[in-house]
Amino acid sequence: MSGRLLAQKFVVISLGIALLATSGASFYKSRRLKEPVVLGPGVTTVRPLSTWFAPLRGTANDCNVYFLDGRTPGATMLVLGGSHPEEPAGRLVTWILAENAIVQKGRLIVVLSTNRSATTVTRLGGAYPPDFSIPTDFGSRTFRMGDRFTNPLDQWPDPEVYFHYPSGQQLAYVDIRNVNRVWPGRANGTLTEQTAYALMEMIKREKVDIELDLHEAELQYPVISTIVTHQRGQDMATLVSMTLTDSEFKIGTEFSPRTLHGLSHREIGDFSPAVSLLAETPEPFLDATRGITSREQLLTGRDEFVVKAGQHGLLFEKIDEKGWPIAVRVGRHTSTLLQIAETWGEDHPDKLLVISGVPRYKEVIANGVGHYLHDPAKAAGRVVYE
Amino acid sequence: MNMFASAGIVLATMVAVYVLIRVIRLSTELAMFGAAVGGALVAGFGFPSRHIAEGAATYLDINLIFVTATLFMNLLKESGGVAFVVRSILRRFHHNRALLLVLLTVLLLVPGALTGAGSVTVLVTGALVAVVLNAMGIPKHRAAALIFINAGLSAAAPPVSLWAMMTAAGVNMPYVGFFWPLMLPCLAGGLFTSFYLGWKGENANVMKALEELPVPPAGMSWWRVLLPFVVFGGFVFMGRQWPFSTPIVGLPLMFAAAAVISFLVSPVRLQVFRIARETVDQLLPLLATLTCAGILVEVMTLTGARGLLSLAVVTLPIWVVYASLFLVLPASEAVLMWGAAPVIGVPLVLLFNNRGLDPIIALAGMSIIWPLGDALPPTAIIGRLTVDVVGHKGTYGQFLRACLVPALFIIVVGTLMVVYSKKLGFLTGL
């Protein structure tokens, strides 16, 4: 081998090692970034998900489950954030609940990282930022960005074709790592299937009455700005959307297709007594025609390209130069959640769910999301990590 | 500066860097990598090592399938299995030109269909089929065209069609329902090509061909050839028949298992490490292409260049898109190779979806047109490889002219599939 070739190889290998080191450090940091949760006055217990399914113990998906027990008995509502961590509004809402909510009647169960493994990876080819920060009254709080799918480091390889359990419906192979395609889960399945199984066990054993899965969607996706409901929740969801559209913002209702399997709004309702609902807000960051992929775009939802796509009639939701700021998206979810609790109470006066301390749409927009996140430094003994 | 201007500058920089690197005769892969780095620097992201690493891993699974499937095919070739099949077909069917052409077409379609790479077809079966075509009196430029077009179709054929897989992944669409929409046009295009280019000629000179073809080792038999395929098919069958009690092994391990069986049942002792090394040598340019395409796409997404391109495509009048598919798809393949799928394919599928077309059929139609670009400069890797393997000594233009009519047939079929995708939706079986 000539000296020149040797030198070329040395330079290329050195550059490769430098690339590995710098990118590796970034991946290591974001996978292990600790997200503090300041336990609010309403949190009565925090238990690991493996409490309901021991094989999850020690895995990436043995997430925390936050219990907020009311002063008097009533309905139990489960709120799932982080089914798809790349949709941050849902996770931030669950943070607000854990740090602020007080339950007067009934019980709230909150999961901040439903697919915790998916919070530790970003989409290959998606150019996502590794994390994002929310400005608060005391500084800022940083969160892992996450992906839609379980981290391949925790579950790999994918099958040639994915068959949903128990329906046998054929789905895309990659969806075996999508927690919102594996409900009701499988005890001896993959990590993602076991996660859904553990949550189903909890839903049944804790006698959950209402389950709400929080999501966001690209504007090119037809299921957007809506509540998707199992048939047992149709009346309630319709009333919630009518009330919200009349008083706060426009939101629709979609009925969960009976033959589309694996989704929380279908399977939780089918396999447990709980009424299952799923809420969607607009997230321009997920649109394929988006411009620069950045933290700013993620949090402001402002994007000239997506606006242009809208002018050509290619979108299912409106967008203008104001974008879809994170406060608007979080506020839509908090109001939806509170309205569901209220509407449930109207139908079940003997089994109420009364929640306080959670801001509604206009309050979140006025004060910002960060206003409802508390300083971990000043909450010694009441901080847990996601 | 508004987003349109900044993304436009980034895109222009990427194109300029790509062209510059190609002008100084460096590889397409380096040109894609350079374009990605140049774009990131101009966009103010510096040297985005995280995104480069993440982009490089985008097609890791596909690369693994590539390596294991090609190793399997190479072991089969080295064991004399491919020569055995070609000789058997020739001996049995040399009196029947039509049947011979049909069987040779199938033989050409299998390696690429399994591996997703037309080059594997050219390397594994191309040379042997060329001998038979020569014996059938088919001139070498026409034989090269026949093998090239079938190799391209084999890459688009199911189960592994990289253009369809990469585009589907880019729009969050399941790679499900593609089998028949890909299989039927690939078979139709393959048969048309073989009959158009191979029908005229003398009766096969079987003795001459058998003399030129390598002789398989003693003991080679149909069961030794077929057993590895049975094992591979068995894995697929078990995963589909008993999905809840079969462990997930993934396609790369299935191909690796077939390779192991091929090694174990070979009548001659195979130098597995040499073959593995040669397989990786053979695949290195393709692996590099996929890796660099992943990096380019990631940086284009980061900087907004991909969004700009997507927006430009999805806002075009639909008739303009239909009318330009014959040019845009092969040209993008010639420049970006598989990188064309996420860069051009994704916005096109979004557009078709928005216009109410069937995205699966439309994407399948596009997938059969893309590989035609593999004969065009600046890359033309598979076109040149085919010409070399066949031993065509004439001009490259002669080969291209021979490709013209079959290429037109495929373009017409592919474009009609896009236009009438809604009506052909039943082919997906969904």
Largest Cα separation within chain B, whole Å, is: 72
Would the pLDDT of B230 be above 80? Answer: yes
Mean pLDDT of A136-152: 97
Q: Do A27 and B249 touch (CB under 8 A)?
A: no
Give the sign of the dihedral formed by CA A160, CA A164, CA A170, CA A171.
negative
Please classify residue A5 by burial: count the beta carbons closer than 10 Å to its beta carbon, then call 0-12 exposed, 13-18 middle and 19+ buried. exposed
Task: Report the residue count for chain B.
Answer: 430
Q: Which residues of B178-204 are buried (b: 16+ CB within 10 A; e: fewer)?
A: bbbbbbbbbbebbbbbbbbbbeebeeb
Count CA atoms closer than 13 A to B427's CA, side-chain side.
23
Q: Do A163 and B173 touch (CB under 8 A)?
A: no
In the structure, what pLDDT confidence band is assigned to residue A193 with cuts at 50, 70 and 90? very high
A63 belongs to a structural domain: yes
A1 belongs to a structural domain: no
| Best of A84, A305, A307, A319 to mutate (most B CBs within 10 Å, chain B) | A305
**What is A12-70 written as a DSSP string?**
HHHHHHHHHHHHHHHHHHHHH---EEE--TT--EEEEGGGS-GGGTTSTT--EEEEEE-
Do B210 and B243 meet the contact criterion of CB atoms below 8 Å apart?
no
Do A170 and A234 meet the contact criterion of CB atoms below 8 Å apart?
no
Domain tally for chain A? 1
pLDDT digit string, tens, across residues B85-135: 989 988 998 889 999 999 999 999 998 898 888 888 888 888 889 988 988
Strand-pairing partners, residue A108, are A68, A77
In 3-state terms, what secondary structure has residue A9?
A: helix
Contacts of B345 (CB under 8 A, 6+ apart): B163, B166, B167, B170, B363, B366, B370
Contacts of B206 (CB under 8 A, 6+ apart): B90, B91, B94, B135
Q: Do A157 and B248 touch (CB under 8 A)?
A: yes
Q: Do B6 and A292 touch (CB under 8 A)?
A: yes
pLDDT digit string, tens, across residues A255-307: 998 888 999 999 999 999 999 999 999 999 999 889 999 999 999 999 999 99
Q: Is B251 on the interface with A (CB under 8 A)?
A: yes
Nearest residue to A367 (alpha-carbon basis) of A137, A141, A139, A140: A137
In the structure encoding, which two tokens stand for residue B408, read together? 């037109």
- For residue A49, give the CATH number of its domain: 3.40.630.10
Name every chain A residue with its beta carbon within 8 A of the beta carbon of B176.
161, 170-172
Mean pLDDT of B328-357: 86
**Enclosing domain of residue A359:** 33-385
Looking at residue A322, its amino acid is K
Evaluate the omega torsion of the peptide bond into residue A157 and state whether it is cis, within 30 degrees of 0. Answer: yes
Contacts of A380 (CB under 8 A, 6+ apart): none
Mean pLDDT of B220-249: 92
Type and span of the H or E element at B111: helix B97-115
Looking at residue A179, its amino acid is V
Q: Do A292 and B311 touch (CB under 8 A)?
A: no
CA–CA separation, A317 and A307 (whole Å): 10
Contacts of A15 (CB under 8 A, 6+ apart): none
φ, ψ (nearest 5 deg) of residue B214:
-60, 145
At B297 the pLDDT is 87
Expressed in angstroms, the distance from the first to the final Cα of chain B is: 46
Q: Is B398 on the interface with A (CB under 8 A)?
A: no
For A291, the closest of B52, B169, B307 (CB atoms) is: B307
Angle made by CA atoms A51, A55, A61, in degrees to the nearest 5:
75
Evaluate the omega torsion of the peptide bond into residue B378 and state whether it is cis, within 30 degrees of 0. Answer: yes
Angle made by CA atoms B204, B209, B211, in degrees to the nearest 5:
145
Residue of A nearest to B55 (CA): A125
Cβ atoms < 10 Å from Cβ of B219: 11
CA–CA separation, B55 and B299 (whole Å): 8
Q: Do A163 and B244 touch (CB under 8 A)?
A: yes
Mean pLDDT of A331-348: 98
**How far A282 CA sits from the closest chain B CA (Å)?**
17
**What is A242-269 written as a DSSP string?**
HHHHHHT---EEEEPPTT--S-HHHHHH
Would the pLDDT of B242 be above 80? Answer: yes
For B301, the closest of A186, A293, A309 (CB atoms) is: A293
In the structure, what pLDDT confidence band is assigned to residue B388 with cuts at 50, 70 and 90? confident
Nearest residue to A368 (alpha-carbon basis) of A340, A320, A317, A334: A334
* Tokens 């799928």 belong to residue: B341
In 3-state terms, what secondary structure has residue A215?
A: strand
pLDDT digit string, tens, across residues A228-256: 999 999 999 999 999 999 999 999 999 99
B177 vs A51, which has greater pLDDT? A51
At A210 the pLDDT is 98
Count CA atoms closer than 13 A to B327's CA, side-chain side.
5
Do B164 and B181 meet the contact criterion of CB atoms below 8 Å apart?
no
Q: Do A159 and B239 touch (CB under 8 A)?
A: yes
Residue of A nearest to B298 (CA): A125
Q: Do A125 and B250 touch (CB under 8 A)?
A: no
A111 belongs to a structural domain: yes
* Tokens 């090509």 belong to residue: B193
Do strands A170-171 and A64-69 pair parallel, antiparallel, or not at all (unpaired)?
unpaired
Nearest residue to A123 (alpha-carbon basis) of A10, A266, A285: A285
A99 belongs to a structural domain: yes
**What is B114-166 written as a DSSP string?**
HHS-HHHHIIIIIHHHHHHHHHTT--HHHHHHHHHHHHHHHHHSSS--HHHHH
Cβ atoms < 10 Å from Cβ of B251: 25
Do strands A72-80 and A210-217 pair parallel, antiparallel, or not at all (unpaired)?
parallel
For B240, the closest of A124, A161, A305 (CB atoms) is: A161
Expressed in angstroms, the distance from the first to the final Cα of chain A is: 53
Q: Is B428 on the interface with A (CB under 8 A)?
A: no
For B57, the closest of A124, A170, A291 (CB atoms) is: A124
A144 belongs to a structural domain: yes
Do strands A64-69 and A72-80 pair parallel, antiparallel, or not at all (unpaired)?
unpaired
pLDDT digit string, tens, across residues A92-114: 999 999 999 999 999 999 999 99
CA–CA separation, B316 and B325 (whole Å): 12
Q: Is B363 on the interface with A (CB under 8 A)?
A: no
In the structure, what pLDDT confidence band is assigned to residue A162 with cuts at 50, 70 and 90? confident
Q: Is B170 on the interface with A (CB under 8 A)?
A: yes
In the structure, what pLDDT confidence band is assigned to residue A128 with cuts at 50, 70 and 90? very high
Nearest residue to B348 (alpha-carbon basis) of B327, B333, B332, B362: B362
CA separation (Å) from B29 to A64, A123, A343, B284? 45, 23, 59, 11
pTM to 2 decimal places: 0.89
A373 belongs to a structural domain: yes
**How far B208 CA sits from the closest chain A CA (Å)?**
43
CA–CA separation, A14 and B29 (whole Å): 19
pLDDT digit string, tens, across residues B304-338: 998 998 888 888 899 999 999 999 999 888 877 77
In the structure encoding, which two tokens stand for residue A335, read together? 């109001």
Q: Do B53 and A176 touch (CB under 8 A)?
A: no
In the structure, what pLDDT confidence band is assigned to residue A14 with cuts at 50, 70 and 90? very high
Type and span of the H or E element at B366: helix B359-369
Average pLDDT, chain B: 91
Could you list the beta-strand ranges (E) of A138-203. Answer: 140-144, 162-163, 170-171
Q: Is B280 on the interface with A (CB under 8 A)?
A: no
φ, ψ (nearest 5 deg) of residue B391:
85, 30
At B380 the pLDDT is 78
A116 vs B317, which has greater pLDDT? A116
Do A309 and A321 meet the contact criterion of CB atoms below 8 Å apart?
no
| Best of B63, B301, B343 to mutate (most A CBs within 10 Å, chain A) | B301
For B250, the closest of A124, A158, A175 (CB atoms) is: A158
Would the pLDDT of A173 be above 90? Answer: no
Do A275 and A295 meet the contact criterion of CB atoms below 8 Å apart?
no
**How far B279 CA sits from the closest chain A CA (Å)?**
22
In the structure encoding, which two tokens stand for residue B319, read together? 């008739």
**How far A156 CA sits from the closest chain B CA (Å)?**
8
Q: Do B43 and A292 touch (CB under 8 A)?
A: yes
At B226 the pLDDT is 92
Q: Do A186 and B174 touch (CB under 8 A)?
A: no
Do A118 and A93 meet the contact criterion of CB atoms below 8 Å apart?
no
Strand-pairing partners, residue B11, are none
Q: Is B239 on the interface with A (CB under 8 A)?
A: yes
In the structure, what pLDDT confidence band is assigned to residue A360 with cuts at 50, 70 and 90? very high
Name every chain B residue with its beta carbon within 8 A of the beta carbon of A189.
244
C-alpha dihedral (B243, B249, B250, B254), degrees to nearest 10 = -110
**How far B54 CA sits from the closest chain A CA (Å)?**
6
A22 belongs to a structural domain: no
* Tokens 């077909």 belong to residue: B89
In chain A, what percentage of residues exceed pLDDT 90? 90
Range 22-81 of B in CB contact (< 8 A) with A: 43, 49-55, 57-58, 61
Would the pLDDT of B346 be above 90? Answer: no
CA–CA separation, B102 and B190 (whole Å): 9
* Tokens 């004439």 belong to residue: B394
In the structure encoding, which two tokens stand for residue B3, read together? 């987003």
Alpha helix (H) residue ranges in chain A: 3-32, 88-100, 191-205, 234-247, 264-271, 295-300, 304-311, 326-347, 361-367
Q: Which residues of B85-110 are buried (b: 16+ CB within 10 A; e: fewer)?
A: bbbbbbeebbeebeebbbbbbbbbbb
Q: Do A303 and B3 touch (CB under 8 A)?
A: yes
Would the pLDDT of B227 be above 80? Answer: yes
Q: Do A289 and B347 touch (CB under 8 A)?
A: yes
pLDDT digit string, tens, across residues B173-202: 777 889 999 999 999 999 999 999 999 887
Q: Do B310 and A288 touch (CB under 8 A)?
A: yes
Do B164 and B421 meet the contact criterion of CB atoms below 8 Å apart?
no
In the structure, what pLDDT confidence band is assigned to residue B50 with cuts at 50, 70 and 90? very high
Q: Is B323 on the interface with A (CB under 8 A)?
A: no
In 3-state terms, what secondary structure has residue B254?
A: helix
CA–CA separation, A301 and A326 (whole Å): 7
